[in-house]
Chains A and B, each alone.
Chain A
Amino acid sequence: MKYIKHFLLLVLTAVVFTACSEDPIVVVKTTNATINLLDPSESVKITEFSNVTITLTELNTQEKVVEKIVGKTIELELNQGSYEIAVNGMIKYDLNGESQEGSIGAFISELNFVSDIQAADVQLSLKSFSKDFVIEEIFFTGSLTPDGSTYGGDKYFKIHNNTDSVLYADGLLLVQSRFLTTDRQDYTPNVMPEAFTIKSMIQLPGSGTEYPVEAGKSLIIALDGINHVENNSNSIDLSSADFEIFYTTLGDVDSPAVPNAINVLDNIIPHSRGFDSYAIARFPDGVTSANYITDYKYDYEWLFVFGTISIPQDETDYKLPNEWILDAVNLSVESEFQWVITDASLDSGYTYCGKVDRDDTRFGKSVRRKVLQEANGVRLLQDTNNSAVDFTPEASLSLK
């Protein structure tokens, strides 16, 4: 029993000694970090960092390190730890040989620097490529029925929000060209440098905020928003299309489940051999469909020549100023192509389904805009104003 007292005293002394030791000196280790910034995709090569900063925030201490980026490789000395990394800024880059400007970003929520020397890759993404919608897909050939007849009710247009914020489809215009890419004529006056000559126009309904489209998402404008498989087993189901075009005099059907576009001018029925062009646009402030119809007509002449016969033709059509156009696509076929019918700044090439006129293989295929990058499940599509490189021709339907 006596010895228990001594033992306890000894333990107490040991505890006292050990409890009251000094805080250990934490040796702060650093990392020679090399951060490699990766180009957004194979086709996008960054040439210049106009104004890009990288912000590294240590998650525990909330210490921020902000550096201006001048090159693709950044050497930093960082305290080891866990960091949140964000990159933001304006760059210049090279896409298919052309120089473009854009903004990029990157965000990594946690990246651990725990070694003395460490390299990390940070994948950069273009933040937004366009300022508004782009035409993503045009299905204009129709499909074949099992017995080989043609079926054209399932044509559709797919419009994509190619920006990084929500856009509203209200009031968006879809137009069809008057001229054909397979028939080049000298039209006097030639308004093409300033405007796109159109034959038909539809406008999506809405007061301004009724039809939002998230960044990277698309909407479908169908000729008939119905399940076409009922009529043609080789076709597709468009009953969940976002909009449909209903033109009452042609025996057309109106699905109550799909909102109708407003027919401003004539009726859009895509040329099934792909000889015309399409654009999406928006009216500027002050222009409505009512005053567009009265104010934007123009007269022009051309000479119809057939052998030795020449007949001067006088026509009147509508023009859509190039500044209003968000995106334009020319369609044609190689064997018949004569010219693009939009100004080169809107679209300098054409895309196609079928290489010759009445190519039997064209049915059930569409033209689809190429994907530039896919980041976080959000697709960014390529738009260099040249359909010949921006689109995949004779592609399989995205809805099939």
Chain B
Amino acid sequence: MKYWFFIVSFFIFFNISSQVNVGFKLQDSLHNPISDAYVSFNNKGKSTNQRGEVFFLVKKGNYKLSIKHLVYQDFDIVVSVTQDTIYPVFLQDKKELLQEIVVTAKESNNITATSEIDRRAMSHLQPSSFSDLMSLLPGNSVSSPVLNSANNLLIRETGIIDANNDYATSSLGVSFLIDGAPINSNANLQQTIASNFQINPLSFGGVDQRRRTVRSGVDMRAIATDAIEKIEVVRGIASAKYGDLSSGLIKIKRKQGETRWDSRVKSDGFSKLFHVGKGFFFDKSNLSLNFDVNYLDAKSDPRNQLENYERITTSIRLQKIFESSNPITWSLNADYTSTLDGEETDPDIGIENLDRYKSTYKSIRIANELNINFSESLLRNLNFKVSVNSSNDRIEQTRWQQITRATSLPISREEGESYGVFLEPSYLSELIIDGKPLDIFSDFSSAFAFKVFNIEHELTVGGNYSYAKNNGLGQLYDPRRPPVASVDTRPRAFKEIPALQNVAFYLEDIMKWSLNKTNFTFRAGLRGNAIVGLNDRYIINGKLFLNPRLNVKVDLPRITFKNEKSLNLNITAGYGKQSKLPTQNMLFPQDQYVDFEQLNYFHPNKDFRRVHYQTYILPRVNYDIQPALNLKKEIRLGVNYDYHSLFVTYFDESMNSGFRSIRNSNSLFYKEYDTSDLDPNMITEAPAVENLPFQQVEAQVLTTKESNGSAIDKKGIEFQYTGKRLEIINTRFTVSGAWLQTKYYNSLPFLSFAENRFVNGVFHSNIGVYKNNDSFLKESLQTSFTADTYFQKLRLTTSLRTDIGWYGSTKGLPRSTVPFQYINEQGKTLPYTAMEANDPVLQSLIRTPDGITEREILLSLQMHLKISKKFYKYVTISMYVNNLFNYFEVEDIGDQLVARRSFVEPYFGMEMNIKF
């Protein structure tokens, strides 16, 4: 009785409740379930699971059902819901959509030269870090990952060996946006003292020198790729919404919304990678939650356990859509990234086991975005972003120092005279660089849409504010035990360095109109950047730097042929200025210490020894420093015909205000104490300078200061041809490449002492000022041919890529031998004429010429193979072989055939993806 009553009330309850559970079961024509289809029902979007099923909880009524899938035709229908039901849905194959599968980069139809890389291309490439994806850009070849030195990005240039970071402004000027918020590296100060310290003798470059990115921007090793949905690489002129960049812009959009459990395990000759991620979508609250965990452990040489790179990244992303007449989207991202670079010596080879280097970065980033879309009014969009990034960076370096000669050392931290010390014969030098950069980024923008005189306008107005400060303890070491016997700095605390704040505003109007079936789009933008909060001595304090950014696109009328296929032609042209603001390290550089030895008395008896110095603290700051301005011009032709597309871009960029350290002259004086009156056998205590006669000596020294002294001019032609996937062989051919010509040179005069300063036994300090110092013209032509085949039924994708470097050339242009000015020993700058050239002392300022260097790189060809195959329902196994086949053109030197071989060896890797 009670049982019956319970059942009845259950049914009554159930019927009274108006919520209905609706399910859809998607299958293809062969009754195979279709997973990962995007089903939109009642404006809620979800993906189907492994069984092709998806469920929605709705009130009774009529709703629109819309189904999309990569390989099947779209399905739209209106469904009437009255009760709990599961509807079977059969989707039709759409062969044409196979064309959508691209495993290389696509040139986008954007208004400026942009490469797009989607999730599918990323999976196929099997990358360890973001750097591997850059091989898809036109002009870049596939290369094995290098994980024991920093990976900086170069866009549209050949690159140059640059030990002094004179030309690093190019990579510094690439801005990386992750879900709209830039990675700000302006407060990164992690670098050691003494650059040439090497632990592993086989490595190229000093342990810290090749890992630091203080002047070169973002280290791409730290960006994991598994959470990324899509990447846009803007090689051309970026929209005015984006600033503090000079070369290019990378927009990274991460996965959002419901996804299956996704895991990846990758192993190759040098590294292991693990990844797990999942996206959840909570119906009731319209909330999506995505998280990703990624771990990478890499070694430069698998046999060498002593040098490694480790990366851990975790990300949690929330997105909530508030339902209202104007949908409000609120996103909250929390990311944790930890990287470790370590190198140490083999403990078994004796006392050198004490050499050790470890550089860690641990950063937490929280980004918040509020976006409101309006449908019909003048105001279309309001967007507000804030992101806060706090990082804990630390370099720990231990170095065993054995002096090679008795050495004296100044240790005073203040200007003035002081006694120094003599170095201990051997000691352990410990250095800690403790940095705590804090970056805050906020951006507010509003977009308006209206139509005036048949021209559609989309006007965006906005502004942003960034703050960068480093609260770290800075350089920590004992000045009596420095990492190198002669240092020109003293320990510096980072938290004393003022913050770097910049504000910007932007205005951008995208205008569209058509004329006689030709569509015109004109994007005119203006951005103003200013650095605020500085001491007024800086001329850039509060000064507004304007960047106009103009792009135009003309879509010519479509030409349709008898076979119903049409030819589309479009031309894009752009002109823009992009300014990269100086970093905190460039605005507040560390002072340089110059110590003059005034007395050196190394008596056989330790207690009687003395060394005395005059110390000067010379600032390296340049109050006239400006942002580095890159002027970009480009023109692009795009041709589209029946899924074939060809884009050819010609670009011309010039920047002559790139950042570098230049030399600065200083006139100083010191004393030379005379100990000839002291009898070393009779003294009873160490000599005191107060009791010694001295001579005043004038000296002129060269120190360094920050400047805008580097020029980089980039010219070139990029091309990207993506063919139609040929049905018969299911293969698509893609050809991309670039001809690049890059000129690197100094834009400010170079100062130097004479090569031989002793004239007539007297030591001279005249300084010559020379116009040309380092100047290189580099050129290269590269093409990549890719053939990728997608066997849908076998669920197998293969691609074979051939990279050909047709030629490369470097021409070193001669440096100036005769100065055009000189600075005399009193510090006065004077013109250098024929009269000076005949003076016996000043003629030593004429430098020997360095000759013209010309170097050619001959043809090289590499082939790379990638295969991935799906097994069962969940598992995909992929493998790749880079440099499967190599060919190098052989050159003739006299009677010997010498092949110029780079260190290219086949490079294997395998990975397994499990999605469940």
CB-based nearest A residue for B351: A147
Please tell me which one of the listed residues A266, A293, A309 contacts residue B759 in the complex, with CB atoms under 8 A apart.
Answer: A293
Nearest Cβ in chain A — how far from B202, in angstroms?
16
With A248-B597, A311-B852 already in contact, the answer to whether A151 and B404 are too (CB < 8 A) is: yes
A315 to B760, CA, bound (A): 20
CB-based nearest A residue for B672: A248
Q: Give the interface centre of A149, A224, A291 by most chain B CB atoms within 10 Å.
A: A149
CB-based nearest B residue for A255: B602
Please tell me which one of the listed residues A252, A254, A293 contacts residue B758 in the complex, with CB atoms under 8 A apart.
Answer: A293
Q: Enumerate chain A residues within 8 angstroms of B409, measured Cβ to Cβ.
A: 251
With A149-B402, A152-B404 already in contact, the answer to whether A256 and B602 are too (CB < 8 A) is: yes
User: Would you call A308 and B405 a contact (CB within 8 A)?
Assistant: no
Which chain B residues numbered 824 to 878 have a C-beta less than 8 Å away from chain A? 840, 848-849, 851-856
Q: Enumerate chain A residues within 8 angstroms of B403, measured Cβ to Cβ.
A: 151, 153, 231
Please tell me which one of the listed residues A232, A253, A266, A291 contacts residue B408 in the complex, with CB atoms under 8 A apart.
Answer: A253
User: Would you call B426 and A256 a contact (CB within 8 A)?
Assistant: no
**B891 near A: Cβ within 8 Å?**
yes
Q: Enumerate chain B residues within 8 angstroms of A51, measured Cβ to Cβ.
A: none
Q: Enumerate chain B residues within 8 angstroms of A294, measured Cβ to Cβ.
A: 759-760, 840
With A266-B758, A294-B759 already in contact, the answer to whether A252 and B600 are too (CB < 8 A) is: yes
**B201 near A: Cβ within 8 Å?**
no
**A97 near B: Cβ within 8 Å?**
no
**A289 near B: Cβ within 8 Å?**
yes
**B678 near A: Cβ within 8 Å?**
yes
**A226 near B: Cβ within 8 Å?**
yes
What mask results when residues 303 to 327 of chain A are scored 1 for a CB within 8 Å of chain B, else 0?
0100111011111100000000000
A248 to B891, CA, bound (A): 49
Nearest Cβ in chain B — how far from A317, in angstroms?
9
Q: Give the interface centre of B400, B422, B602 by most chain A CB atoms within 10 Å.
A: B602
**B302 near A: Cβ within 8 Å?**
no
**A190 near B: Cβ within 8 Å?**
no
Please tell me which one of the listed residues A257, A265, A307, A311 contacts residue B604 in the complex, with CB atoms under 8 A apart.
Answer: A257
Q: Enumerate chain B residues within 8 angstroms of A289, measured Cβ to Cβ.
A: 761
User: Would you call B405 and A309 a contact (CB within 8 A)?
Assistant: no
Q: Enumerate chain A residues within 8 angstroms of B604, measured Cβ to Cβ.
A: 226-227, 239, 255, 257
User: Would you call B600 and A253 a contact (CB within 8 A)?
Assistant: yes
Please tell me which one of the listed residues B352, B407, B852 contacts residue A253 in the complex, with CB atoms under 8 A apart.
Answer: B407
Which chain B residues numbered 366 to 405 have a C-beta less than 8 Å away from chain A? 400, 402-405
Q: Enumerate chain B residues within 8 angstroms of A223, measured Cβ to Cβ.
A: 405
User: Would you call A224 and B759 a contact (CB within 8 A)?
Assistant: no
User: Would you call A313 and B851 a contact (CB within 8 A)?
Assistant: yes
User: Would you call B486 and A308 a contact (CB within 8 A)?
Assistant: no
Which chain A residues numbered 139 to 154 have a C-beta less than 8 Å away from chain B? 142, 145, 147-153
A290 to B855, CA, bound (A): 43
What mask results when residues 128 to 166 of chain A are scored 1 for a CB within 8 Å of chain B, else 0?
000000000000001001011111110000000000000
User: Would you call B854 and A309 a contact (CB within 8 A)?
Assistant: yes
User: Would you call B848 and A316 a contact (CB within 8 A)?
Assistant: yes
With A145-B402, A149-B402, A314-B848 already in contact, the answer to whether A253 and B758 are too (CB < 8 A) is: no
**A210 near B: Cβ within 8 Å?**
no
CB-based nearest B residue for A316: B848
Q: Enumerate chain B residues within 8 angstroms of A256, measured Cβ to Cβ.
A: 601-603, 675, 678, 680
Nearest Cβ in chain B — how far from A199, in angstroms?
10
A257 to B681, CA, bound (A): 8
User: Would you call A265 and B402 a contact (CB within 8 A)?
Assistant: no
User: Would you call A153 and B406 a contact (CB within 8 A)?
Assistant: yes
Please tell me which one of the listed residues B351, B602, B848 contacts residue A315 in the complex, with CB atoms under 8 A apart.
Answer: B848
User: Would you call A314 and B849 a contact (CB within 8 A)?
Assistant: yes
With A251-B409, A311-B852 already in contact, the answer to whether A257 and B603 are too (CB < 8 A) is: yes
User: Would you call A254 and B485 a contact (CB within 8 A)?
Assistant: no
Nearest Cβ in chain B — how far from A154, in angstroms?
8
A314 to B601, CA, bound (A): 41
User: Would you call A226 and B851 a contact (CB within 8 A)?
Assistant: no
Q: Enumerate chain A residues within 8 angstroms of B406, measured Cβ to Cβ.
A: 153, 224, 226, 228, 230-231, 252-253
User: Would you call A147 and B603 a contact (CB within 8 A)?
Assistant: no
What mask results when residues 50 to 74 of chain B are scored 1 for a CB within 8 Å of chain A, else 0?
0000000000000000000000000
Nearest Cβ in chain A — how far from B596, in angstroms?
9
Q: Enumerate chain A residues within 8 angstroms of B352, measured Cβ to Cβ.
A: 147-148
**B97 near A: Cβ within 8 Å?**
no
Nearest Cβ in chain A — how far from B172, in angstroms?
32
**A86 near B: Cβ within 8 Å?**
no
Please tell me which one of the listed residues B407, B408, B760, B853 contacts residue A293 in the complex, with CB atoms under 8 A apart.
Answer: B760
**A264 near B: Cβ within 8 Å?**
yes
User: Would you call A142 and B404 a contact (CB within 8 A)?
Assistant: yes
**B906 near A: Cβ within 8 Å?**
no
CB-based nearest A residue for B485: A251
Q: Give the interface centre of A246, A252, A256, A293 by most chain B CB atoms within 10 Å.
A: A256
CB-based nearest A residue for B681: A257
**B893 near A: Cβ within 8 Å?**
yes
Nearest Cβ in chain A — how far from B852, in angstroms?
7
User: Would you call A252 and B404 a contact (CB within 8 A)?
Assistant: no
A277 to B390, CA, bound (A): 59
Nearest Cβ in chain A — how far from B512, in angstroms?
55
Which chain A residues numbered 192 to 225 have a C-beta less than 8 Å away from chain B? 223-224
User: Would you call A309 and B404 a contact (CB within 8 A)?
Assistant: no
With A251-B409, A253-B406, A253-B600 already in contact, the answer to whether A147 and B680 are too (CB < 8 A) is: no
A312 to B402, CA, bound (A): 40
Q: Enumerate chain A residues within 8 angstroms of B400, measured Cβ to Cβ.
A: 147
A208 to B681, CA, bound (A): 25
User: Would you call A226 and B602 a contact (CB within 8 A)?
Assistant: yes
A249 to B893, CA, bound (A): 44
Q: Enumerate chain B residues within 8 angstroms of A145, measured Cβ to Cβ.
A: 402, 425-426
A226 to B603, CA, bound (A): 8
Q: Enumerate chain A residues within 8 angstroms of B606, measured Cβ to Cβ.
A: 230
A290 to B678, CA, bound (A): 29
Q: Enumerate chain B residues within 8 angstroms of A312, measured Cβ to Cβ.
A: 851
A290 to B760, CA, bound (A): 4
Nearest Cβ in chain A — how far from B809, in angstroms?
12
A145 to B427, CA, bound (A): 13
User: Would you call A148 and B485 a contact (CB within 8 A)?
Assistant: no
A293 to B754, CA, bound (A): 15
A149 to B355, CA, bound (A): 13
CB-based nearest B residue for A239: B604
User: Would you call B761 and A293 a contact (CB within 8 A)?
Assistant: yes
CB-based nearest A residue for B757: A266
User: Would you call B848 and A265 a contact (CB within 8 A)?
Assistant: no
User: Would you call A147 and B405 a contact (CB within 8 A)?
Assistant: no
User: Would you call B759 and A147 a contact (CB within 8 A)?
Assistant: no
A375 to B898, CA, bound (A): 61
Q: Enumerate chain B residues within 8 angstroms of A314, measured Cβ to Cβ.
A: 848-849, 851
Q: Enumerate chain B residues within 8 angstroms of A227, measured Cβ to Cβ.
A: 604
User: Would you call B600 and A147 a contact (CB within 8 A)?
Assistant: no
Q: Enumerate chain B residues within 8 angstroms of A255, measured Cβ to Cβ.
A: 602-604
Nearest Cβ in chain A — how far from B601, in angstroms?
6
Please tell me which one of the listed residues A147, A150, A253, A307 contacts residue B350 in the complex, with CB atoms under 8 A apart.
Answer: A147
What mask results when residues 659 to 681 of chain B are scored 1 for a CB within 8 Å of chain A, else 0?
00000000000000001001011
Nearest Cβ in chain B — how far from A23, in angstroms?
68
Nearest Cβ in chain B — how far from A335, in angstroms?
21
CB-based nearest B residue for A257: B680
Name the 3 nearest CB pairs between A and B, nearest first: A153-B405, A253-B602, A149-B402
Q: Which residues of A contact B (CB under 8 A)?
A: 142, 145, 147-153, 223-224, 226-228, 230-232, 239, 246, 248-249, 251-257, 263-266, 289-291, 293-294, 304, 307-309, 311-316
A-B contact pairs, 19 of them (CB 8 A): A151-B404, A151-B405, A152-B404, A153-B404, A153-B405, A224-B602, A230-B406, A232-B425, A251-B485, A256-B602, A256-B675, A257-B603, A263-B758, A290-B760, A291-B760, A307-B893, A309-B853, A315-B848, A316-B756
Given contacts A230-B425, A255-B602, A256-B603, 15 further A-B contacts (CB under 8 A): A147-B402, A152-B404, A239-B604, A248-B600, A251-B405, A251-B408, A253-B406, A253-B407, A253-B408, A256-B602, A294-B759, A304-B851, A308-B893, A311-B851, A316-B848
